[in-house]
Amino acid sequence: MQMHRDPAEERPEAEDMENKDILVIGCGNVLLGDDGLGPAAVKYLEAKGGLPRDAGLVDAGTGIRKLLFNIVLAEKKPKRIVIIDAIDAGKKPGEVFEIDLEGIPAVKSDDFSMHQIPTSNMLKELRDECGVDVRVIAVQVESIPSVLKTGLSAPVAAALDEVRRLVIQRLKDKG
């Protein structure tokens, strides 16, 4: 008899997170199709490589708020955080773009993703009060299913290489 594997069990641990100057955090729910972009991007980045040694990859799943809360309270904070998430901003499915923290849509404030207002406030606090450079890289979803469905749509899956390119570019930025 084959046991069902919980996708959360396959996530890389956030080991040595406190020793990293840069954190790349993928967030989203792998059970809701395109919303699982963040975790898929973390796996893609891990497989393809090319990140600096001082960068840590974290699959936050739907637990971004707890992770950010721990970072806010930590004695040593990263210098830069890059969040990867899927959103519906009315763009072409699979389009990769950056959003300013003030531009995080309130439309998704009722779900379990990064877009919740308390999470947005923690990101702003990290930026404004703690001096952490916070970047958000987003991909336009094709759709978010109303029932459980794993896997990314073709346009969102095709965007993973562009997400990787943009993440690496942002990690090289000087501020």
| 120-146 pLDDT tens trace | 888 889 999 999 999 999 999 998 888
The C-alpha atoms of residue 57 and residue 43 are separated, in whole angstroms, by 9
Which helix (H) or strand (E) segment holds residue 75: the answer is: none
Estimate to the nearest angstrom the gap between the alpha carbon of 152 and the chain centroid.
15
Q: For the whole model, what pTM was predicted?
A: 0.84
102-110: average pLDDT: 58
Q: Which domains does the chain carry?
A: 33-172 (3.40.50.1450)
Q: Structure tokens of 131?
A: 């001096």
